[in-house]
Structure 1
Amino acid sequence: MKLTSLLFISFILSLVSAETHTWYFETGWVNKNPDGFFEKPMIGFNGTWPLPILRAKKGDTINLYLINGFTDRNTTLHFHGMFQNGSSQMDGPPFVTQCPIPPGETMLYNFTLTQHGTYWYHSHTSGQYGDGMRGIFFIDDTEPYPYDYDEEVMLSISDNYHQNSDYLTPRFLSRFNPTGAEPIPDSSLFNETRNASWVVEPNKTYLVHIVNVGRFVSQYLYMEGHEFEVVEVDGVLVEKNTTDILYIAVAQRYSVLIRTKSDASQNYAFMNAFDDTLLDYIPNGLILNSTNWIVYNETAELPGEYTTDLTQYFDDFYLRPLSNTTLYDDPDFVVTVDVVMDNLGDGVNYAFFNNVTYTAPKVPTLVTALTAGKYATNELVYGTNTGSIVLQKGDVVDIVVNNQDTGKHPFHLHGHVFQVIERHPESDTDVISFNSSDHAEWPEYPMIRDTVYVYPQAYVVLRFVADNPGIWFFHCHIEWHLDQGLAITLIEDPLGIQSNPNQALSDDFINSCTKNGIPVEGNAAANSKNFLDLTGQNVQVKPLPTGFTARGIVALVFSCIAGFLGMGAITVYGLADIKDVEHRVARDLDVDIDDDDADGATAFEEGSSSAGEVGK
């Protein structure tokens, strides 16, 4: 039988075996105490939290009805790492690929799974996934797993705040926080709890799927007496790599094989530790290194904290995809962005790509791409504050991120995976930016994933093929930094989006826009008459003024006058002959004074004793 016939039969069988998964989830607040220290409202589905683990297989259809059960806020849902081929409007970021879902309304997220591996889902509305709206989504392959194992385990790690985003976010984005110091978490979580026990059996191989669903802090994972064997990152199968320590930034995923021992008499520590270099300070009582347990014997003693040298963690840059995909051809288009954190005129600290802090347009960018006609290829129509870049179909694209900030940043690209072809080490002194004529040798088989961290004051070079027409966000996945505006928008093959009938706006999409008073046509300024006229578009706050403003000059003058008056008053009173000054001082110090000491010398013989008693 010919190979083409075999492939056709395989395709038909996959269609026959494909399933449709229909889920109805209503958002709402659920009181929970995740870390055992503090009870607070968490965002749950259908009155429960944590959110369910979703599981399907490649080729299946997803019908997820998200019902906004809140009475006072919009919501959205993003399926992190899923390509959404031909279904860009199901991707989730508000004002990028959809209008936010208003209270009491429902949106159907309908799409077909084209990948396999470890993913997750979360709200893309500010603050909500940090408040609990997040869960693991695993997609099985239609082919057998390439590595042998006995049992699967799902594991999430995250950071946890005792205050919700309604309290934290306005205090973070405030002129009273001019340095942009991120709120410090109150604890870390391990499968949405603390001090968890994982009961295992001896002589077994466990396939453990790990997701960092936190909003801020990267974490180290390591185990007493056991090793990780890495077999997948961000849904991409890799050649096996064994390590003692994993470093997982927020939004990253790993699948690892863990082999248990033959001796079941002893239990072992399974540690998750914060990367404290991301924290501006470490509060008293914050537990950086949290202990969980690998339990062989439930009657045996549980071990205490286990420590190791965390600087020796595994560098994911050297992972090789199991597909042996080689380095893509030289780029047709290079996107270079410089990361800076700085203050604008309102005193708030913002995040910038190339001096632009992302500011949402008045209509979703997808709406503009669909309704702008021939102007859809003109970046101007998408607004000057969205960081919008138009990509041509089939182009090989490089994204060069020059991190001029002193902190690590995990960057995520929607709609694609990318090859990580260079990541420069951290610089403790000067900022090191990418130089196309002077760089390290690039690997033949680069690591492929969708979320990668860049070191402080260094750079990373990412490469992908623009083969998925749609609107795709590229942003820092530290939620605080996205709130500060660290994002750009990639408009990929906009004419291809227009010509695909599957990209037509759904009724739920239009309903959400209508209920929110958002037009479903027009440019970034909601202008559908002249797409090149951006009058009235949303723009970032004006910069801090240079030099002295009129108000500043007035303030300076009055400050100087007040200073001179104060100095004058000190001089006058300092030179004045104050009557009975010795008696006044002695009275204030509660000591005795010899009235016969006419020359002003004080007698502290008894007073010294009294003063000494006070000191005791």
Structure 2
Amino acid sequence: MHWYLARSIANAEIIEKYWNIEQVNFSMEGLFTRKAIGVNGQWPIPGIDAMLGDTLVVHVTNKLNEPTSLHSHGLFQNGTNYYDGAVMATECGIPPNGTFTYRLQLLQTGSYWIHSHFKLQTADGLRTWLVVRDPHEVYKYDEEIVVTLEDWFREPAEVLIKQLNSPDPHMRFKPIVPYGIIGGECANRKRIQFEPGKTYRIRLINIGASFEFHFSMEGHELRVIEVDGVMVKERPTHGVTLGAGQRASVLVKALDSAQYNYAFHADMFTDLLQMPRYNPLNFTGTIEYSSSAPTKHVKNSKWKTNVHDLDLEPLDNEPALEPNRFITLDAYSGVFNDQTFRHSFNNVTYVAPQVPSLLSAMTTGDNAQLSETYGRQTNTYVLRHMEVVQLIINNHDYYSHPFHLHGHVFQIIETGSIRNYERIIKESMDVPVKRDTVVVRGGHYAIVRFRADNPGVWLFHCHIDFHIQLGLQMVFVEAPEILQNWSNMPEMYKENCIAQGIKTTGNAFGGIGLEGGDLDLDPSPYPDQFESYDPPDGWKLISYILQGNGDDVESIASQ
């Protein structure tokens, strides 16, 4: 343990929050009002500031009519896997009118966020930022600003998911309207306050459900110093692109004069189709030096360029790990045997087990070492303690996926095209960057490595909320023999399972041994019919890309 971490723990505070999770009405700039999932009658949910070594205690009361949970995205939860919040992977969820207390010792610094890991509650608003500050920052700056980048939909997520996994392509490509918001207000109206001569750390956090954001500031240079909680060697750039779940900190030196204000861009986009008028959806806020100053627009053809992950190096100078376990994951989408459109890894679409995988790992003895114990449809890989895992992630879809690993950061070793005739490869430096979320473009692959040094049950999934619900996730069970020695679970953990009629022992089906382990939890693909899905051309595709029609786009961009 570093001396400053020991000192931070000695001086630590307990940050205690009491959250009633409930439905609230939220008005989008007077354009429409819809239900959001808020806290204590408020949305957006206030963020949380903490210092290294603090303990964050969140007492949750669930006022929804369905279970809920809280996942602290990016925190390792080393030794406290039961607080990871992944429903039916690490917990049963908090039942309606139930309670649970998450007790998180903050031993990492950086930019994180908290969100639900039950169904599509993140898309409906159960999300906010979490910043853990380092008392001994490497980089110097005068002030910092948290900028949350969010997509927000007119319709509740349960309506959208019915469209997106419909067997009817016409229904699946029905227009859906996105809005770009920052801190609950339209990004076009957001004002970031600057004072001349100051240096700012801007924490950019994509807490949205689906879209990527490209952030840039006219007339100002960005210097990347952090990605996903990992401090990196300073790297200048004109812009930063963040997939859902990704974070970055940039240093920005304010100009010396308050004569003009300037524009910043927070543009929502996908890489499905290059259509300048509709992709990206351009949102432009203001860098405000003075409320009375005019806005000066600085044309720069480079503002759309951004630093690549493999151009970054972490400050800890950890060299590339040498792997001794190799796993290939092929991501596809297609129509499954229930005639719905779904996503999969290696032709398996995730279906939750009947017993949380963590409890299966803790209660099945030697069988916990066998992937069959957790059910075929959970797509579980059991890892030995401290082995180094190399994942080759092949994205056979036509759109990008931001893949996120719980409980770890991974080194990004290589990216490239999976097409033999277009094998463009980019390799990492000798000291590869580490993140917990990597964007893999359509038709591309990424190679990442991590050490299995954190016993627990950890999800690996696309962080597009709708893709999670359509099955694009799988499970790593690390060192189950160590988990079986745990004895410090909070009492209310199992009480919440029992209250919902969920078993707390046995395999994925609540059985003993491997009985039922080879059964499907349903659905699974028809092997002879399953293939990557090609969307229709024209406006149906454009509507899918933008999740809105042309008139919607014009309206949104002008707000």
TM-score by length of 2: 0.89
The residue number in structure 2 matching 1:534 is 517
Q: Following TM superposition, by how much is the alpha carbon of 1:84 offset from its aligned partner in structure 2, in angstroms?
A: 0.1
Aligned positions of 1:439-454 closer than 5 A: 442-454=428-440
Larger RCO (alpha carbons 8 Å, 6+ apart): 2
Matched, 1:121 2:105: no
Q: Following TM superposition, by how much is the alpha carbon of 1:159 offset from its aligned partner in structure 2, in angstroms?
A: 1.1
The residue number in structure 2 matching 1:246 is 240
Q: Please give the per-residue CA displacement for 1:109-136, whole angstroms capped at 9, x wherever unaligned.
A: 1131221110000011121111111101
Query: How far apart, in 1, do the equivalents of 2:276 and 2:33 lie?
Result: 22
* Matched residue SS, 2:402: strand
The residue number in structure 2 matching 1:358 is 350
Query: How far apart, in 1, do the equivalents of 2:114 and 2:493 lie?
Result: 19
Query: How far apart, in 1, do the equivalents of 2:193 and 2:493 lie?
Result: 45
Q: 1:135 aligns with which of 128, 134, 159?
A: 128
Q: 1:468 aligns with which of 428, 437, 454?
A: 454
Query: How far apart, in 1, do the equivalents of 2:351 and 2:174 lie?
Result: 20
Identity of aligned residues (%): 34
Greater mean deviation of Cα atoms: 247-256 or 341-350: 341-350
Over 3 Å counting, the alpha-carbon distance change for 1:363 and 1:279 in structure 2 is farther
Q: Following TM superposition, by how much is the alpha carbon of 1:443 offset from its aligned partner in structure 2, in angstroms?
A: 2.5
Query: How far apart, in 1, do the equivalents of 2:155 and 2:527 lie?
Result: 31
Matched, 1:512 2:496: yes
* Matched residue SS, 2:378: coil
Matched, 1:155 2:147: yes
Q: 1:167 aligns with which of 147, 159, 183?
A: 159
Does the 8 Å contact 2:338/2:523 carry over to 1? no
Q: 2:402 aligns with which of 397, 406, 410?
A: 410
Q: Please give the per-residue CA displacement for 1:439-488, whole angstroms capped at 9, x wherever unaligned.
A: 76553100111001112111100001110000000000011111110011
The residue number in structure 2 matching 1:112 is 105
Q: Please give the per-residue CA displacement for 1:160-196, whole angstroms capped at 9, x wherever unaligned.
A: 1111112212222212247965964422112321221
Q: Following TM superposition, by how much is the alpha carbon of 1:308 offset from its aligned partner in structure 2, in angstroms?
A: 4.3
Over 3 Å counting, the alpha-carbon distance change for 1:544 and 1:381 in structure 2 is closer
Aligned positions of 1:51-130 closer than 5 A: 51-70=45-64, 72-130=65-123
Aligned positions of 1:546-557 closer than 5 A: none
Does the 8 Å contact 2:355/2:510 carry over to 1? yes
Does the 8 Å contact 2:163/2:171 carry over to 1? no
Does the 8 Å contact 1:178/1:347 carry over to 2? no
Aligned positions of 1:592-603 closer than 5 A: none
Query: How far apart, in 1, do the equivalents of 2:118 and 2:315 lie?
Result: 35
Query: How far apart, in 2, do the equivalents of 1:351 and 1:343 lie?
Result: 9
* Matched residue SS, 2:283: strand
Over 3 Å counting, the alpha-carbon distance change for 1:33 and 1:109 in structure 2 is same
* Matched residue SS, 2:385: coil
The residue number in structure 1 matching 2:533 is none
Amino acid at match of 2:449: R
Q: 1:218 aligns with which of 201, 212, 217?
A: 212
Query: How far apart, in 1, do the equivalents of 2:169 and 2:496 lie?
Result: 34
The residue number in structure 1 matching 2:341 is 349
Aligned positions of 1:259-408 closer than 5 A: 259-278=253-272, 288-302=281-295, 308=301, 312-329=305-322, 331-408=323-400
Q: Following TM superposition, by how much is the alpha carbon of 1:38 offset from its aligned partner in structure 2, in angstroms?
A: 1.9
Q: Please give the per-residue CA displacement for 1:123-151, whole angstroms capped at 9, x wherever unaligned.
A: 11121111111101001124x11111001
Does the 8 Å contact 1:182/1:280 carry over to 2? no
TM-score by length of 1: 0.81
Gaps of 5+ in 1: 1-6, 434-438, 548-616
Query: How far apart, in 1, do the equivalents of 2:306 and 2:9 lie?
Result: 42
User: Aligned-pair RMSD on alpha carbons?
Assistant: 2.6
Query: How far apart, in 2, do the equivalents of 1:348 and 1:81 lie?
Result: 32
Name whichever structure is richer in strand by fraction. Answer: 2
Query: How far apart, in 2, do the equivalents of 1:498 and 1:466 lie?
Result: 17
Does the 8 Å contact 2:383/2:477 carry over to 1? yes
Q: Following TM superposition, by how much is the alpha carbon of 1:372 offset from its aligned partner in structure 2, in angstroms?
A: 0.5
Amino acid at match of 2:383: L
Q: Following TM superposition, by how much is the alpha carbon of 1:53 offset from its aligned partner in structure 2, in angstroms?
A: 1.0
Does the 8 Å contact 2:415/2:426 carry over to 1? no
